[in-house]
Structure 1
Amino acid sequence: MKHFASLTAIAFLSLAACSSGPEEPSATASASADVEDIATEAPSADASEAAPVAAPAAVLGLEGLGDLKIGKPVPKGSTWAERGAQTSDACRTVSSPEYPGVYAIVEDGAVRRITLGQNSKVKLAEGIGVGATEKEVQGWFAGFRSEPHKYESAPAKYLTAPNARPGESALRFEIKSDGRVGLIHVGEMPVLAYVEGCA
């Protein structure tokens, strides 16, 4: 009986200790509060610096640019359209106000090449854009075939991916006589190598 009374007293004291004083939040409640505090804080400078520099749509890849895809028709309802450039039944060029300095060549109803020109801010995933040096290009794309430029004297040249062939999307650079990239093309041969739009 004495033993039972001691146990009761210990249980009572334990209960009193648990309920005395201000309530402390449980680990779960504390963690929830911390999450709420983090959620309501403004993003730090570090978070904004970690954001991507360019949206994926502003990157030219072997598959295309945004909704414009190599080997596919120009998407219906897109901003890509003929705008006073070369147009014929066999070959036409399209451009979009969303991508200044960029045009595409369409043959047989499908996009065969996309070209980045002088005013384009679009770049390749590697960060290479119009105005990059030949050295920067060679740093990423060693082994490209070199051919003399049709209209400019050396060191102007064309640098073309070794896998450039019909039915396979490839990359081609036009290096100007100042040693900088003047144009970047992605597309399928033989359209990839056209030197004057549709020719």
Structure 2
Amino acid sequence: MMKQFLALAPLALLAACNSQPTADPAADDGANAVTPAPPQENQIPPAPEPTQPAHILSLQGLGDLRIGEAVPATSDWQVRGAQVSDTCLVLSSSDYPGAYAIVEQDKVRRISIGQRSSVKLAEGIGTGASEAEVAEYFPFPATPHKYVDAPGKYLTAPNAASGDPALRFEIGSDGKVSQIHVGTMPVLGYVEACS
């Protein structure tokens, strides 16, 4: 009998040590609350998702518009005024005066900023910049402007023919940027909105 007691005694002690009274959740005064572990000193918080500043035009787009994608349903970019075509739409946004977008086959194909626009490229180039300022960052080949005599011209990124989003500047008769376009060919090269 003594042998049985000695054999079971360690198990009884172990069970006694591990048992804790069950707390009544209704009577909890906070003494039994679990406190989260403090953050470790070397723990790096997750990086925030990169966002594009609202008034910066990039090869990806402007605001919530993305080149090659449909216009988001909640977007302020809307058809305003008469349209010449059902297959090519020109959109504008009250958030971006002086800017417009061209949509073909239900996708944004080009975004353009004009002289009334405060939108700029990340490099700080906007409408009104000199051709020399543009050439500092974008030494693109020039082609004659369809409607403006020299020094008017188009400066188009060499990769435009690839079908990837590309950049195009219109230089006016004063030698300054009159419009900046981002989009894909052939829409990037349109000279009158949808043509």
The alignment's TM-score, normalised by the length of structure 2, stands at: 0.72
Measure, in 2, the Cα distance between the counterparts of 1:187 and 1:102: 13
Measure, in 2, the Cα distance between the counterparts of 1:164 and 1:85: 29
Q: Which residue of 1 aligns with 2:108?
A: 111
Change beyond 3 A, Cα 1:130–1:88: same
What is the percentage of aligned positions where both structures have the same residue? 63
Instruction: Tell whether 2:158 aligns with 1:149.
Output: no
**Which secondary structure does the structure 1 equivalent of 2:160 belong to?**
coil
Deviating beyond 4 angstroms after TM superposition, the runs of 4 or more aligned structure 1 residues are none
Aligned Cα root-mean-square deviation (Å) = 1.1
CA deviation after TM superposition for structure 1 residue 165, in Å: 2.3
Instruction: Tell whether 2:63 aligns with 1:66.
Output: yes
Q: Which residue of 2 aligns with 1:195?
A: 191
**Which secondary structure does the structure 2 equivalent of 1:136 belong to?**
helix
Instruction: Pick from 152, 155, 160 the counterpart of residue 159 of structure 1.
Output: 155
**Which residues of structure 2 form unaligned runs of 5+?**
1-51
Measure, in 1, the Cα distance between the counterparts of 2:149 and 2:133: 20
Change beyond 3 A, Cα 1:83–1:112: same
CA deviation after TM superposition for structure 1 residue 88, in Å: 2.3
Measure, in 1, the Cα distance between the counterparts of 2:77 and 2:55: 15
Instruction: Pick from 125, 144, 148 the counterpart of residue 128 of structure 1.
Output: 125
CA deviation after TM superposition for structure 1 residue 70, in Å: 0.2
The alignment's TM-score, normalised by the length of structure 1, stands at: 0.70
**Which residues of structure 1 form unaligned runs of 5+?**
1-54
